[in-house]
Chain A
Amino acid sequence: MPEVVAERRVSIKDYDNKVRPSWCPGCGDFAILSSLKKAFVDQGIAPHEVVVVGGIGCGSKLPNYLRAYGFMTIHGRPLPVATGIKLANPDLHVVVVDGDGDGYGIGGNHFIHTCRRNPNITHVVQNNQIYALTKGQYSPTSDYGFVTTTSPEGAIERAINPTALAFAAGATFIARAFSGDPKHLTEMIVKGMQHRGYALIDVLQPCVTFNKVNTYDWYEERSYKISEEEPGYDPSDRDAAWKKANEWGERIPLGVIYQNPEIPPYEESVPGLSGGSIVPRSYEGIGKEAFERLKKSYM
């Protein structure tokens, strides 16, 4: 990881918009919000240089709870909206924050294609293995047998493994963090943002109200830091990463599972962006010379 130096004096206070989140007391989303702000400050990024994009869900409301450019969109669609922002103005830092239902369920197609597309976007998924805002239905990451209002006899579908799915779809940065360890979470967000390309950070985030199975204790007991238990782990080793990405259940790895820094971010290969952000150019047309040339091609 490159040394990150805060060049400008940006403080957590700059990111405070004084809006009280609607989250339940004890919700893991609080730690994600504070870690995100801390990650911006640690990198010296000012509030006007970043756009936080959310979908729909408890965690997706996050853009409303900090002072920065933000966009809470519609269910499942923050990735394409964020991609549009990045493709229009690549100078902006673009971070997507949504949940397991938004990112892996309704937005599943966008998730797959964003992985392979590799825009320089950081995707923080608040994975609580349940639909919370709609008051407790099973989600794409709910474990088999999980009892909810829409699976009263236990979920009869197998869960998505987001890290393995991201790997198979061609993601170039895959990490997992736990909202019960904000310091490590902040570190993962910073690493994801420093990665040139799409970065998935799957965050284990207990829903204290509706998920009585996957609790703080449940995650504490199973999760371990790759860096502590396997100091020699090489996240660029595809075979090792595939194994690590598939690990779930009794043991849940935290940390950078996979990173491939060799593949350039999508926007660097877009022909229309060779002149930089298209925003200033949107105030002007193509010019008379180009217009007449195009018109002549029809004569």
Chain B
Amino acid sequence: MSEAAGGPADISLTIGGDAGQGVESSGAGFSLALARAGYQVFSISDYQSRIRGGHNFYQIRAANYPIYAHSDPPHLLVALTEESVEVHAARLAEQGGVIYDASLAGVERLVEEAGALPFPAPLAEIAERHGNRVMANTAALGLAAAIIGLDLAPVVGVIEQRFGEKSKELARKNAQVAEDAYAFGLERYAGIFRYKLPPPPAAKPHILISGNEAFSLGAAAGGCRFIAAYPMTPATSILEWMTYRAKELGIVTKHAEDEIAAVCMAIGASFAGARAMTATSGGGFDLMVEALGLAGIVELPLVVVEVQRGGPSTGLPTRTEQSDLLSVIHASHGEYPKIVLAPGTAVEYFECGWRAFNLADKYQTPVIVVADQFLAGSPRTVPADALRYESVQIDRAKTIPPASLPRDSVASGLLAHPNGSNGGTGNGAIHEAGHYLRHAFTEDGISPRGLPGDPRTIHALTSDEHDPEGHITENKEIRVQMHGKRMRKLELARAEMRPPSLIGEPDADLTLITWGSTVGPAREALALIAEHGLRANLLHFCDIWPFPAEKVMPLLAGVRRSIAVEQNYTAQFCRLLRMETGYKVDHAVLKWDGRPFSPQEIAASVLEEVGARA
């Protein structure tokens, strides 16, 4: 944290407690209060795969300048249990403080041993005064606001909104608890604590949103009308988001009996003409793999979100990792075109929400969006105008609209003139002797797709190799031509895959390479690395497959020294890069502990790796 008056400044606090104690809801509420007060916020939620008990924590960072990750070390700990003091007190910043209930025996000694400032308060007592000691969390947040210098009004605003949904009485009591604790904090501790929030910047409006929420919003805006999924952390919240709003938005959502059913339902809905998707994590994705090849060979659009967590097998169910990349790219036997996107920010993930459907419709093939727990589950502020309705495009490409839509001229055009052909018989035509050719051989490999219910485009799909009409065939020439037609789509898609984004100055001593969510902390690490006299920049990849090698190689040519930052053991992206370009990344910072990288951790590892650390 910088303490220069008026300059950029940030503060981090950690709320720790047992599962079931309200750590998550307290953290989310306090994050929202900070965002409403005008701060930029980035929060991470650290929890275990259990319903009650076990230590959980929520870490919130608030700043008056743009931030892209959480930050270490935290300055203030809100300890709901003695265990959270044991876990977190020692990692607080110098002169950091610990808020805890005065009745927690032995905590003061732990706090002092850790060199932190004790901020005991009668939290349960204040709560009880207004009715119930379960409101002690509210008291802790009121106290925290006082200590870090957050105005109480936004805190009370969030409390009134959240509890008000249940009962006005409950909202009022909680607000009183927060007010009492705030007054207590102002009187006893406000002058002692050295870490204060800077005055809120006169910022443009921000929203506080997690990755999965941003994706869901983008998908809904992009015409997604069907999701079938099986609950699996950390992907479940996408199915839940759509289901809560299913009636309001007119989206069909289905909690299927397993992931195989989920992906097959999405494929069925896509065949019928709906924009359809499924969402899962690694284990569920493994179950879906056979069906991906089905969508590939029958040429149906399909969007799959794969939110990675620690693997293999059940692995680290609630934690983050980037270890499914190569598995996803190579998923399903045989060869078929497939598109893989790996968004790293909430804005990219939002964009993938609608972009994936456009790509799936255009190339009539599966598009897989690879996210991870860190991106999916971490709420962060995003400028409200970064998620723009006007930016969303819906392009169903060569999907022939049902006759009921007032776009029949589009359909007629597609029926008559695929790829500019005259619609007669022969190569490129989609009708032959009165039969509709679902898989007509076209120059670009994409055939106009009719939908069930349309009398003009009757056809059957088959997972066997087939002729243009869709009939099973083992004819050598047709097989060669049909496989070629499908794979041509991959080459066409490659041309529209975006190059990596360059963050920082083009001229640098060191270039960090990231894909997916590590871009946030890596981006912030650049400044920390610069403090050691090294000029670093960053190449961040979102469009992963088909790999846009021709766009990437000129960028790599100018790199002096490269270092990849990945959350896996085998440097999967480095392998992919080498496979597709021949480029060998010089260094890799890798980890597989299930915890997201902080900027400080990346900077330290990078400096150590390149031998720049004193």
* Interface hit among A74-82, A124-132, A149-157, A185-193: A74-82
Contacts of B265 in A (CB 8 A): 80-81, 83-84, 87
Identify the closest chain A residue to B392 (Cβ): A285
Contacts of A67 in B (CB 8 A): 458
- Whether B405 sits at the interface, judged by CB under 8 Å, is yes
* Interface hit among B244-252, B321-329, B482-490, B586-594: B244-252
Instruction: Please determine whether A63 and B460 come into contact, CB atoms closer than 8 angstroms.
Output: yes
Q: How far is the CA of A22 from the CA of B471 in the complex (A)?
A: 12
For A72, give its contact among B226, B273, B402, B464 (CB under 8 Å): B464
Name the residue among A22, A275, A295 with the largest chain B CB count within 10 angstroms: A295
Contacts of A73 in B (CB 8 A): 264, 267, 294, 463
Identify the closest chain A residue to B214 (Cβ): A298
Which chain B residues (400-457) contact chain A, with CB distance < 8 Å?
401-402, 404-405, 407, 451-455
Instruction: Please determine whether B207 and A295 come into contact, CB atoms closer than 8 angstroms.
Output: yes
- Whether B61 sits at the interface, judged by CB under 8 Å, is no
For A51, give its contact among B226, B264, B276, B452 (CB under 8 Å): B452
- Whether B222 sits at the interface, judged by CB under 8 Å, is yes
Contacts of A278 in B (CB 8 A): 225-226, 250-252, 269, 274
Contacts of A236 in B (CB 8 A): none
If the complex has contacts A69-B459, A294-B220, A299-B384, are A283 and B405 also in contact, measured as CB distance less than 8 A? yes
Task: With both chains docked as a complex, state the minimum distance between the C-beta of A278 and any C-beta of chain B, in angstroms.
Answer: 4
Task: With both chains docked as a complex, state the minimum distance between the C-beta of A58 and any C-beta of chain B, in angstroms.
Answer: 12
* Interface hit among A41-49, A196-204, A226-234: A41-49
Contact with A along B237-265 (1 / 0, CB 8 A): 00000000111111111101110111011
Instruction: Please determine whether B260 and A71 come into contact, CB atoms closer than 8 angstroms.
Output: no
Q: How far is the CA of A113 from the CA of B389 in the complex (A)?
A: 39
Contact with B along A288-299 (1 / 0, CB 8 A): 101110110011
- Whether B512 sits at the interface, judged by CB under 8 Å, is no
Instruction: Please determine whether B209 and A89 come into contact, CB atoms closer than 8 angstroms.
Output: no
For A292, give its contact among B389, B405, B471 (CB under 8 Å): B389
- Whether A37 sits at the interface, judged by CB under 8 Å, is no
Which chain B residues (458-479) contact chain A, with CB distance < 8 Å?
458-464, 470-472
Instruction: Please determine whether B460 and A64 come into contact, CB atoms closer than 8 angstroms.
Output: yes
Which chain A residues (269-292) contact chain B, with CB distance < 8 Å?
270-275, 277-286, 288, 290-292
Q: How far is the CA of A86 from the CA of B272 in the complex (A)?
A: 8
Identify the closest chain B residue to A67 (Cβ): B458
Instruction: Please determine whether B451 and A279 come into contact, CB atoms closer than 8 angstroms.
Output: yes
- Whether A165 sits at the interface, judged by CB under 8 Å, is no
- Whether A208 sits at the interface, judged by CB under 8 Å, is no
Instruction: Please determine whether B269 and A84 come into contact, CB atoms closer than 8 angstroms.
Output: yes
Identify the closest chain B residue to A68 (Cβ): B458
Contacts of B463 in A (CB 8 A): 56, 72-74
Contacts of B294 in A (CB 8 A): 73-74
Name the residue among B221, B268, B454 with the largest chain A CB count within 10 angstroms: B268
- Whether B355 sits at the interface, judged by CB under 8 Å, is no
Task: With both chains docked as a complex, state the minimum distance between the C-beta of B310 and any C-beta of chain A, in angstroms.
Answer: 27
- Whether A88 sits at the interface, judged by CB under 8 Å, is yes
Instruction: Please determine whether B290 and A74 come into contact, CB atoms closer than 8 angstroms.
Output: yes
For B264, give its contact among A84, A273, A291 (CB under 8 Å): A84
Contacts of B407 in A (CB 8 A): 283
Contact with A along B202-246 (1 / 0, CB 8 A): 000111110001000100111111101000000000000000011
Task: With both chains docked as a complex, state the minimum distance between the C-beta of B248 and any C-beta of chain A, in angstroms.
Answer: 7
Instruction: Please determine whether B455 and A46 come into contact, CB atoms closer than 8 angstroms.
Output: yes
If the complex has contacts A279-B402, A282-B274, are A109 and B253 also in contact, measured as CB distance less than 8 A? no
Contacts of B224 in A (CB 8 A): 282
Contacts of A113 in B (CB 8 A): 256-257, 261
Identify the closest chain A residue to B456 (Cβ): A48
Contacts of A112 in B (CB 8 A): 257
Contacts of A255 in B (CB 8 A): none
Instruction: Please determine whether A82 and B268 come into contact, CB atoms closer than 8 angstroms.
Output: yes
- Whether A213 sits at the interface, judged by CB under 8 Å, is no
Give chain B's interface residue range (CB within 8 Å of chain A). Answer: 35 or more
Instruction: Please determine whether A92 and B392 come into contact, CB atoms closer than 8 angstroms.
Output: no
Instruction: Please determine whether A272 and B246 come into contact, CB atoms closer than 8 angstroms.
Output: yes
Task: With both chains docked as a complex, state the minimum distance between the C-beta of B274 and any C-beta of chain A, in angstroms.
Answer: 4
Contacts of A27 in B (CB 8 A): none
Instruction: Please determine whether A299 and B208 come into contact, CB atoms closer than 8 angstroms.
Output: yes
Task: With both chains docked as a complex, state the minimum distance between the C-beta of B344 and any C-beta of chain A, in angstroms.
Answer: 20
- Whether A91 sits at the interface, judged by CB under 8 Å, is yes
Name the residue among B35, B217, B272 with the largest chain A CB count within 10 angstroms: B272
Instruction: Please determine whether A110 and B389 come into contact, CB atoms closer than 8 angstroms.
Output: no
Instruction: Please determine whether A81 and B267 come into contact, CB atoms closer than 8 angstroms.
Output: yes
Contacts of A285 in B (CB 8 A): 220-223, 354, 392, 394
- Whether A1 sits at the interface, judged by CB under 8 Å, is no
For B471, give its contact among A64, A80, A272, A288 (CB under 8 Å): A64
- Whether A70 sits at the interface, judged by CB under 8 Å, is yes
Instruction: Please determine whether A88 and B269 come into contact, CB atoms closer than 8 angstroms.
Output: yes
Task: With both chains docked as a complex, state the minimum distance between the C-beta of B340 and any C-beta of chain A, in angstroms.
Answer: 22
Instruction: Please determine whether A92 and B260 come into contact, CB atoms closer than 8 angstroms.
Output: no
Task: With both chains docked as a complex, state the minimum distance between the C-beta of B244 and any C-beta of chain A, in angstroms.
Answer: 10
Instruction: Please determine whether B453 and A89 come into contact, CB atoms closer than 8 angstroms.
Output: yes
Instruction: Please determine whether A283 and B396 come into contact, CB atoms closer than 8 angstroms.
Output: yes
Task: With both chains docked as a complex, state the minimum distance between the C-beta of A271 and any C-beta of chain B, in angstroms.
Answer: 4
Instruction: Please determine whether A64 and B462 come into contact, CB atoms closer than 8 angstroms.
Output: yes
Instruction: Please determine whether A299 and B459 come into contact, CB atoms closer than 8 angstroms.
Output: no
For B209, give its contact among A51, A82, A88, A298 (CB under 8 Å): A298
Contacts of A279 in B (CB 8 A): 225, 272-274, 402, 451, 453
Contact with A along B369-401 (1 / 0, CB 8 A): 000000000000000100101001010100001
Instruction: Please determine whether A87 and B387 come into contact, CB atoms closer than 8 angstroms.
Output: no
Contacts of A160 in B (CB 8 A): none
Q: How far is the CA of A275 from the CA of B252 in the complex (A)?
A: 11
If the complex has contacts A285-B222, A299-B384, are A85 and B460 also in contact, measured as CB distance less than 8 A? no
Name the residue among A19, A56, A69, A270 with the largest chain B CB count within 10 angstroms: A69
- Whether B75 sits at the interface, judged by CB under 8 Å, is no
- Whether B156 sits at the interface, judged by CB under 8 Å, is no
Identify the closest chain B residue to A72 (Cβ): B462
Instruction: Please determine whether B405 and A280 come into contact, CB atoms closer than 8 angstroms.
Output: yes
Contacts of B607 in A (CB 8 A): none
Q: How far is the CA of A48 from the CA of B401 in the complex (A)?
A: 15
Identify the closest chain A residue to B293 (Cβ): A74
Excluding A64-B470, A278-B226, A279-B451, 17 further A-B contacts by CB distance (< 8 Å) are A48-B455, A51-B271, A80-B262, A80-B264, A80-B268, A83-B265, A84-B267, A84-B269, A84-B271, A87-B226, A87-B252, A88-B269, A109-B257, A278-B250, A278-B251, A279-B453, A290-B248
19 A-B Cβ contacts within 8 A?
A22-B472, A48-B458, A63-B460, A71-B271, A71-B462, A77-B291, A83-B265, A88-B268, A89-B274, A113-B257, A278-B225, A283-B223, A283-B396, A286-B250, A291-B392, A292-B389, A294-B217, A295-B207, A299-B35
Q: List residues of B whose CB falls within 8 A of some A CB.
A: 35-36, 205-209, 213, 217, 220-226, 228, 245-254, 256-258, 260-262, 264-276, 290-291, 294, 298, 354, 384, 387, 389, 392, 394, 396, 401-402, 404-405, 407, 451-455, 458-464, 470-472
Q: List residues of A whose CB falls within 8 A of some B CB.
A: 19, 22, 46-49, 51-53, 56, 61, 63-64, 67-74, 77, 79-89, 91-92, 109-110, 112-113, 270-275, 277-286, 288, 290-292, 294-295, 298-299
The 4 closest A-B pairs by CB, nearest first: A84-B268, A70-B460, A84-B265, A88-B272
